[in-house]
Structure 1
Amino acid sequence: MAKKTTTAAAAAKAAALKSSKHSASLLSLDPLVDPVYANGEIRSYLVTDPSPTVLKKRSFLGVHELYLVAALALASFYVRLYNLSYPKSVVFDEVHFGGFSRKYILGTYFMDVHPPLAKMLFAAVGALGGFKGDFEFKSIGDYFPEGTPYVLMRQFPAVLGVGTVLLAYFTLRQSGVRPIIAAVTAFLLIIENSNVTISRYILLDSPLLFFIAAAVYAWKKFEIQTPFSANWFRALLATGVALGLALSSKWVGLFTVAWVGLLCVYQLWFIIGDLSVSSKKVVAHFFFRGTVLLGVPIALYIFFFAIHFRVLYKEGDGGAFMSSAFRAGLEGNTIPKNILAQVGLGSTVTIRHLDTQGGYLHSHEHYYPTGSKQQQITLYPHLDSNNQWFIEPYLNTTVYNETFVPLTNGMKIRLRHVNTGRRLHSHDEKPPVSERDWQKEASCYGFDGFGGDANDDWVVEIVDYKTPKGEAQENVIALTSIIRFKHAMTGHYLFSSEVKLPEWGFGQQEVTAASSGRRALTMWYIETNNNPYLNRKQARIINYPKLSLWQKVVEAHKRMWKINQGLTNHHNWQSDPQDWPFLLRGINYWVRENKQVYFMGNAVVWWATTTTIFSFITYALVNIVRWWTGSPVGSDKNVYNFNVQTFSYVLGWALHYLPFFIMGRQLFLHHYLPALYFGILALGHFLEIFTSYLLARNRALQNVAYGVVVIFVILSTLFYINYSSLIYATPWTKDKCNAAKALSTWDFDCKNFHDSLAEYSSETTSNTPTSSFQRPSVDSIVEQNKEALETPLAAQKAAVKQDDHLSEEKAKKQAKKEEPVEENLPQVVPPLAVDLEETPQVEDVQVPVELEETPQAEEAEAPVEQQDTPEVEEIEPVIEPESEAEAEAESVKEEPVKEEPVKEEPPKEETPKEEPVKEEEPAKDEAVKDEPAKDE
């Protein structure tokens, strides 16, 4: 019995000692080993294979570290999921990404400048929550109706934000930081205001940051594995998968791929210099790293686009950005079908421009105000009877011997406009808009009884390298032969770029005759073709070919790139890259009910991170000079690990930040978040070296070091708390708001808030759109207020009208403050005329703008072209009106048969100058006219 008691006591003592050991390890664990150098015949070299001891030191410490991680998780869940249901209306670029989720659910094709993964994930979450696509996310401030699972859709990025915090902790542990310092750094990420804000809404940044954080963690895990072991392959594959997910969410993921690639090159340099590694293993390193780290991301990227195209199978507003061949594969398209293949004299055709989305060669009975003042020639994006041209011989004979005469390469012809009877013409006059010497005016010229002149003659040239071999290179075949029209008198070619005519030209695309310029802009093809000398039953019929997945991916990326490059217009909330590290200004997300959501970072963490980055760059330059002079550098294990790991994170910061300096598009503060993440990881290593090495030789100084860290954390927490009203849209006062403006460039509007908190509790705020704007009827007012019976009915109406007017005026002021800043949404020119049988196709426009974030341009009412147009049936527009935020256009209403001049107004944020298809421009509430940003 005594023996059993002694054994139990010994076991309890051992358990207590073990517990004490684990507890101490959270503070005093040394996760580092000395670098190993070996001597070669000529030189010493670094042994690159990780020591097995490293894996043991950086493995999970058990229950005590589990408590630490659980505390981080709980704190992160609270901070990121707190009161997600408020605001109960659309915030910032939820206009775009919520709208995209809706279109995935409905299956209607849309165009965006970002890859599809993150948007598809939001759509999947919404569908799981029962979202049927019945809410349009039209405008900032639109209230969510019952049944829209917006809280669930916001919980998704919030949970990913929690995951990013935990991944930051585990990443630092794998890169040699002690648990307590890793936890402190992760806590700084928890209370970093911008990361909290961005993870609370239906935006792309939180999924992107999570996937980037996963890639960084997997890579750091990979670095300490024994080469070619099972764990080494697992970590390598995990890195490739995470890179693919990041790249498939936003193109910023390319910078992460580049970061891993450069670190591979850096490590392979030392592996080649490690004389203990055979040449065969060096080749294996190159092969496996290259195959997995490039092949897996590319395969995933293509895979997600395949899902994207399969899910979006219906014609939608995004179709206007795409070619007719692409649109022909969408359900419900109105692309011409069953076209006569052989084109000849006597054919009535429509002629489509190849290299722009401008559309069809077009004319109408309106005239140039300058130059020859003859009838206008333009490109028009929609099907219309004014697109039809009759091919006649240049000698103006009308006798074809009742036989079909094919249109051949080198044949001279004239093109007569069917509706007006005038012929396509060019001469020595300057174009109406373009002022280059090598461009001349193209017009329509003629009158009744006039047989034409030599300036009406054009030579048809088939472009053989663009046309499939065979008959199409000899005779013009509809859809297949790529042709040019050479003016016989001057040698100039019929030409069009994306230059737009002003109001008098209805905003349509200019057409000229050019002797220079990009060759592709002189290329055309025949889309529709009718010829009375061909028996349709016996003639060959042709349709647009079905595109392969690769062809769809290539075309989509050409459009995405072009739109992204066009997001150049100024946006109210854009900022410059040189301002980001210093947090000079934020972005207004939402203003309502005397509250505001304003995207801004935690200045304490932000400025500390910037100081860390520039301090390390200075330190590195000094050490490079010391190394050149023969001084030993980084021989201590703490210094060696600090140099290697901090270098990798500062490199990640630079790769995710510096490329923005060469971008011409609209930019916003949220573009800095991936770089900031790497900066915070570098900050963690600064805190580690500060507490474990520089001051560790003196216990008292080490305590001071920990005290400094505690003070830094407290200051960061106080900043988070003080500015939390701008994160959660909680009540704040004007005095506190004004006192919080540490920098004059912090432009959140303190006039939005009440003078005292008591005013919030006394006011009754409705969470339903009171300005939605169902005006109370006079009868209902009379019933509810008996005293009103005494008031004349006219007075009541006047009072109601005045109330509505005041609410609308207030909404207008708020609307000016809020603009979604998206980077990816294209914008479109208002449709000019309705087509007889096809959904209007929008012109390609250069996108001036800011999507994940994106600015938008407003549609202006355009004067209607006065002309007699054949009556046509109105068709339901395929494109839904949207405004673009970051340059994303969101509006395309098709209007019946009249061409309208387009007044282009500068988009409010990144908005393609004249974008093919605006995605629905968030309609402005009557009382809340919020315009989504034009870009991102």
Structure 2
Amino acid sequence: MARTRSNVAAAEAAASSSHKSHGTESLLNVDPNVDFIFEKGVNRPYLLTTSSPELIKKRSNFGTQEYIILAVLVIISFYVRLYGLTYPDSVVFDEVHFGGFARKYILGTYFLDVHPPLAKMLFAAVASIGGFKGDFEFKKIGDKFPSTTPYLMMRQFPALLGVGTIVLCYLTLRHSGVRPIISAATAFLLIIENSNVTISRHILLDSPLIFFIAATVYAWKKFEIQIPFTLDWYKSLLATSIALGLALSSKWVGLFTVAWVGALSAYHLWFLIGDLTVPVKKVWAHAIARATFLLGVPFILYLFFFAIHFQLLVNNSDGSASMSSAFRAGLNGNTIPKNIEANVGLGSTITLRHVGTQGGYLHSHEHYYPTGSKQQQITLYPHLDSNNAWFIEPYQNTTIYNQTFVPLKDGTKVRLRHVNTGRRLHSHDEKPPVSERDWQKEASCYGFTGFNGDANDDWIIEIVPHKTPEGEARETVKALTSIIRLKHAMSGHYLFSSEVKLPEWGFKQQEVTAANSGKRYLTHWYIETNTNPYVKPEQSEIVSYKPLSLWEKFVEIHARMWKTNQGLTAHHVYQSDPSSWPILNRGINYWSRENKQVYFIGNAVTWWSVSGAIVTFAIYAGIQILKWHFGQEIATDKNVFNFNQQAFTYIVGWALHYLPFFIMGRQLFLHHYLPALYFGILVLGHFFEVLVGYITAKSNTLQKVGYATVVGFVVASSLFYLNYSALIYGTPWTRDQCLNSKWLSTWDFDCRNYHESISEYYTSPSVDQAVETTPAPFADEMEKVRETPKIIHQNLAVQDKHQSEDKDPKPEPVVVNDDDKPVNPPPLAVEEIVTPKVEKAQEPSEEEETPGAEEIVEEVPAEVQHAEPVVEEPAVEEPVVEAEPVVEAEPVVEAEPVVEEPIVEEPVVEEPIVEEPVVEEPVVEAEPVVEEPVAEQEA
């Protein structure tokens, strides 16, 4: 029964004396809990929330024997985590990516990843300390490490963090009311939990993440039992905040940990409000202190690590193509235009960049739609190229600028002539080739030599005032500053683009259409380059991209990370549904070589016990709530009360780290369950504690049975670990042993890898078998990225050939002056950029390799999937268009069909349509298409 303050002191003193007087046996009989205290209020009893000194002493003061137990746990975990760490001596699983990221930090080359930077920077720091100079590229699974790559040291780092997680698990259980022997047994289960061992032995983000989450849980449990507003209370609160910041800065899963701490803070505040001994002012002080520390400190750390990230990655590379031009302008070696003429007018040669996506520039080339009008293609292309250049003509065939500068104003009607092919931007009543929606029409390039154009070539410039800074840029079009829309004069449709990609015949470049519905921001454009020969010196105004502030970079990179993460929807053979994780339905193949393999799978005994414990607690909690509603007393014993409270808080942590995955539409894998599993193991520890501390504690015989049950769990888990250790360490195993170990038919480790007998490993050379395994997620894309430099050189050669031999003569300009004398357009002033140097990118796997996992995604920005190479993000190379640089592919994202608001804002202009003559287009031989394997992405 609950006791009041007056009759507790004697019992606490007796318990303390007993605790000190016993020898080894006391570790079995230590009572880590004290009676909770109720006081009588005017209308109801209330729980005292302030911890007693005896409780703090019981859970924080360790004796010599307990330190010996902890030391034994550390020694065992060192052996389990560090055993045979040099093997495999080749790249395993996502070491492809995180080793590659470490290399890029050392070389300073920019890349985009879907995870925050802390864990990756820590690997880079370890590699740098080990003397790594970036000379090994971590290209693909199975690549042998040279002697210059300190891969052992890089693997030791997560292994040591894995050892630290064991210590934190033990300390967390002790501070939440579990006796030393049970805490040690539970921590031992974590030591031999196969999946946790596997992820802590390789250059992966999971081990640092789980260590920081474990540190957060331990610091919070220590904070819970401190006397409020003492120095220890503040120290524990600060430690919790720092650990939260480190977890959040390693992976976005840390957001779930932030949510867990926030939920428990609200839970504690509820009890504080009910404690009548706590003044209202103190309740407010609790709320303010917790909000300040638990939100402010993690955010400051998170921003700080991104600031370091930006300072380290200063060199332009293929990974920066997914970022805005303003962002890339701050990188060393960038090719972003500078010193641009601000005043745009008739006679300007410009490039138009799309605002709503990172698809790039309005682009055309001498290739044609295979359906619809079969006219020249219009696309978005992410790199600077001469095919992005457009000449602004008046909509009539007589000039109105006559050697004088006529600015482009809001409402000006113009035509845009493609400089390289001479055809004009055009739209008409044809369905687009891919987005066959009624509210979208085809945009094309149309014309031929001597043809002066027709009314379907006319576009009205509209300046978007709420997106354009106040001032002159809202009246006349300014390069870089004015956000504009191009309205088709005949139909009222607006030039539009979304994430939809054209098929291979369009070289996977982004589709451009004309639309009268859809999301308005997808009709926004701005002029990035501009030259106009009629601008007088006194009228000239030169602009360049302004350097972005830290906050602007921070906001932009998060928009890109989020969009990339959302785009990871391609199917992968080793992906799994969250509903299958608690039953351990399948694992992930990490590495297969030399008749051995590394396969990620959990310890089924521990895994299933955790799932059973959570289901059991849910049933138990339901029964207890019903009993309480019927007026019965519940949880009157201190051990049961502590079990209810602690198991509940850990199950909340399990749920917050597990259930959100059900609403994610992206690719998911078993290792996403590991943070939730950690909370589940803590729940299991409390089940063991209530078993020996309450259920069987009424007699010595029953308690021995309880301890024997715990030992049975440990032994069974140990046997599973030993039996499946070959899948952790890549050690020899026989085919029969492998087949007999498939408890579930869905466990898909490949037994064909293994020899018939162990002796064959020593009597015959190992052969890398071409096992039919599936490549790592996004391996195909990364394979193409490795080939990017070769493709670029091929493209440049093709471009030279086109320019020297196969280039069709450009049509003569049709603009004339008032005297009917031809006026040639100004020469193309757009800088022709040769594709930037592409650093050899990493590839996660070969086709026969094991699948990679979550982090592979990180290398491939979701929006960089075009036909040409995108700067630095690993992505799929696309077929080459007219010697255009190969763009990394991005997962196809369908245009959103949701109609936000009609875009048509004025009645359709009735003008006679000049019938388009049927032109026999020259047959252009299709360029060789780079075959694109199906993207297999993973988070």
- Alignment size in residue pairs: 832
Aligned partners of 1:564 and 1:912 also within 8 Å: no
Q: Tell me how far apart the structure 2 counterparts of residues 913 and 400 of structure 1 sit (CA, whole Å).
A: 43
Question: TM-score normalised to the size of structure 2?
Answer: 0.85
2:361 corresponds to: 360
2:46 corresponds to: 45
- Per the alignment, do residues 28 and 821 of structure 1 end up closer, same or farther by CA in structure 2, a change over 3 Å counting? farther
Is the aligned partner of 1:898 residue 2:855? Answer: no
1:251 corresponds to: 252
After superposition, where does 1:537-576 map in structure 2 within 5 Å?
539-576=540-577
Aligned partners of 1:177 and 1:685 also within 8 Å: yes
What amino acid maps onto 1:816 in structure 2? T
DSSP 3-state at the match of 1:58: helix
Q: Tell me how far apart the structure 2 counterparts of residues 506 and 597 of structure 1 sit (CA, whole Å).
A: 38
After superposition, where does 1:660-809 map in structure 2 within 5 Å?
660-764=661-765
2:891 corresponds to: 912
Aligned partners of 1:259 and 1:652 also within 8 Å: yes
1:819 corresponds to: 776
Is the aligned partner of 1:64 residue 2:65? Answer: yes
Is the aligned partner of 1:461 residue 2:440? Answer: no
Is the aligned partner of 1:384 residue 2:392? Answer: no
- Per the alignment, do residues 291 and 575 of structure 1 end up closer, same or farther by CA in structure 2, a change over 3 Å counting? same
Mean Cα displacement is larger for which, 637-646 or 359-368? 359-368
1:877 to 809, 829, 837: 837
Deviations 1:455-506 (A, max 9, x none): 1111101101111100111111101100000111111100011111112222
Mean Cα displacement is larger for which, 678-687 or 388-397? 388-397
2:235 corresponds to: 234
Aligned partners of 2:382 and 2:887 also within 8 Å: no
Question: TM-score normalised to the size of structure 1?
Answer: 0.85
Q: Please, which runs of 5 or more residues in structure 2 have no aligned partner? A: 1-16, 797-804, 811-830, 845-851, 861-873, 895-932
What amino acid maps onto 2:157 in structure 1? F
Aligned partners of 1:832 and 1:900 also within 8 Å: no
After superposition, where does 1:287-326 map in structure 2 within 5 Å?
287-326=288-327
What amino acid maps onto 1:898 in structure 2? E
DSSP 3-state at the match of 1:257: helix
- Per the alignment, do residues 822 and 368 of structure 1 end up closer, same or farther by CA in structure 2, a change over 3 Å counting? closer
Q: Tell me how far apart the structure 2 counterparts of residues 913 and 545 of structure 1 sit (CA, whole Å).
A: 32
DSSP 3-state at the match of 1:511: strand
Aligned partners of 1:80 and 1:196 also within 8 Å: yes
1:608 corresponds to: 609
DSSP 3-state at the match of 1:632: coil
Q: Tell me how far apart the structure 1 counterparts of residues 18 and 678 of structure 2 sit (CA, whole Å).
A: 38
Q: Tell me how far apart the structure 2 counterparts of residues 157 and 231 of structure 1 sit (CA, whole Å).
A: 30
What amino acid maps onto 1:110 in structure 2? F
2:436 corresponds to: 435
After superposition, where does 1:263-342 map in structure 2 within 5 Å?
263-342=264-343
- Per the alignment, do residues 17 and 111 of structure 1 end up closer, same or farther by CA in structure 2, a change over 3 Å counting? closer
After superposition, where does 1:64-103 map in structure 2 within 5 Å?
64-103=65-104
Q: Tell me how far apart the structure 1 counterparts of residues 780 and 503 of structure 2 sit (CA, whole Å).
A: 27
Q: Tell me how far apart the structure 2 counterparts of residues 334 and 763 of structure 1 sit (CA, whole Å).
A: 55
DSSP 3-state at the match of 1:376: strand
Aligned partners of 1:384 and 1:834 also within 8 Å: no
Deviation (angstroms), 1:640 = 0.2
DSSP 3-state at the match of 1:75: helix
Deviation (angstroms), 1:59 = 2.0
Is the aligned partner of 1:934 residue 2:900? Answer: no
2:506 corresponds to: 505
Deviation (angstroms), 1:898 = 2.9
2:819 corresponds to: none
Mean Cα displacement is larger for which, 303-312 or 25-34? 25-34
Q: Tell me how far apart the structure 2 counterparts of residues 869 and 181 of structure 1 sit (CA, whole Å).
A: 84
Aligned partners of 2:779 and 2:843 also within 8 Å: no
What amino acid maps onto 2:147 in structure 1? E
2:413 corresponds to: 412
2:897 corresponds to: none
DSSP 3-state at the match of 1:608: helix
What amino acid maps onto 1:498 in structure 2? E
Deviation (angstroms), 1:881 = 3.7
1:343 corresponds to: 344
What amino acid maps onto 2:285 in structure 1? A
Deviation (angstroms), 1:869 = 10
Is the aligned partner of 1:182 residue 2:183? Answer: yes
- Per the alignment, do residues 819 and 17 of structure 1 end up closer, same or farther by CA in structure 2, a change over 3 Å counting? same
1:421 corresponds to: 422
1:625 corresponds to: 626
What amino acid maps onto 2:238 in structure 1? L
Deviation (angstroms), 1:828 = 7.9
Q: Tell me how far apart the structure 1 counterparts of residues 40 and 783 of structure 2 sit (CA, whole Å).
A: 61
2:478 corresponds to: 477
DSSP 3-state at the match of 1:527: strand
Aligned partners of 2:776 and 2:936 also within 8 Å: yes
Q: Tell me how far apart the structure 2 counterparts of residues 300 and 873 of structure 1 sit (CA, whole Å).
A: 39
What amino acid maps onto 2:299 in structure 1? I
Mean Cα displacement is larger for which, 113-122 or 754-763? 754-763
Deviation (angstroms), 1:109 = 0.4
Deviation (angstroms), 1:573 = 1.0
Q: Tell me how far apart the structure 1 counterparts of residues 789 and 154 of structure 2 sit (CA, whole Å).
A: 37
What amino acid maps onto 1:819 in structure 2? A
1:147 corresponds to: 148
Mean Cα displacement is larger for which, 623-632 or 442-451? 442-451
What amino acid maps onto 1:657 in structure 2? Y
Mean Cα displacement is larger for which, 603-612 or 448-457? 448-457
Deviation (angstroms), 1:422 = 1.4
Deviation (angstroms), 1:364 = 1.5
Deviations 1:603-632 (A, max 9, x none): 111111111011001101111111111111
DSSP 3-state at the match of 2:300: helix
DSSP 3-state at the match of 2:760: helix
Is the aligned partner of 1:120 residue 2:121? Answer: yes
Q: Tell me how far apart the structure 2 counterparts of residues 227 and 167 of structure 1 sit (CA, whole Å).
A: 23
Aligned partners of 2:639 and 2:690 also within 8 Å: yes
Q: Tell me how far apart the structure 1 counterparts of residues 887 and 437 of structure 2 sit (CA, whole Å).
A: 24
DSSP 3-state at the match of 1:23: coil
Deviations 1:508-550 (A, max 9, x none): 1111110000001000000111111124697211001111111
Q: Tell me how far apart the structure 2 counterparts of residues 873 and 61 of structure 1 sit (CA, whole Å).
A: 68
- Per the alignment, do residues 868 and 733 of structure 1 end up closer, same or farther by CA in structure 2, a change over 3 Å counting? farther
Deviation (angstroms), 1:247 = 0.3
Deviation (angstroms), 1:560 = 0.5
Aligned partners of 1:343 and 1:406 also within 8 Å: yes
Q: Tell me how far apart the structure 2 counterparts of residues 63 and 616 of structure 1 sit (CA, whole Å).
A: 34
Aligned partners of 1:376 and 1:443 also within 8 Å: yes
1:786 corresponds to: none
Aligned partners of 1:883 and 1:931 also within 8 Å: no
DSSP 3-state at the match of 2:478: coil
1:8 corresponds to: none
Q: Tell me how far apart the structure 1 counterparts of residues 687 and 555 of structure 2 sit (CA, whole Å).
A: 44
Deviation (angstroms), 1:426 = 1.1
- Per the alignment, do residues 287 and 198 of structure 1 end up closer, same or farther by CA in structure 2, a change over 3 Å counting? same
Q: Tell me how far apart the structure 2 counterparts of residues 903 and 351 of structure 1 sit (CA, whole Å).
A: 18
Percent of aligned positions that are identical: 66
Aligned partners of 1:731 and 1:760 also within 8 Å: yes
Aligned partners of 2:363 and 2:380 also within 8 Å: yes
Q: Tell me how far apart the structure 2 counterparts of residues 825 and 702 of structure 1 sit (CA, whole Å).
A: 57
Q: Tell me how far apart the structure 2 counterparts of residues 281 and 595 of structure 1 sit (CA, whole Å).
A: 61
1:593 corresponds to: 594
- Per the alignment, do residues 453 and 893 of structure 1 end up closer, same or farther by CA in structure 2, a change over 3 Å counting? closer
Whose relative contact order is higher, 1 or 2, with alpha carbons under 8 Å and at least 6 apart?
A: 2
- Per the alignment, do residues 872 and 517 of structure 1 end up closer, same or farther by CA in structure 2, a change over 3 Å counting? closer
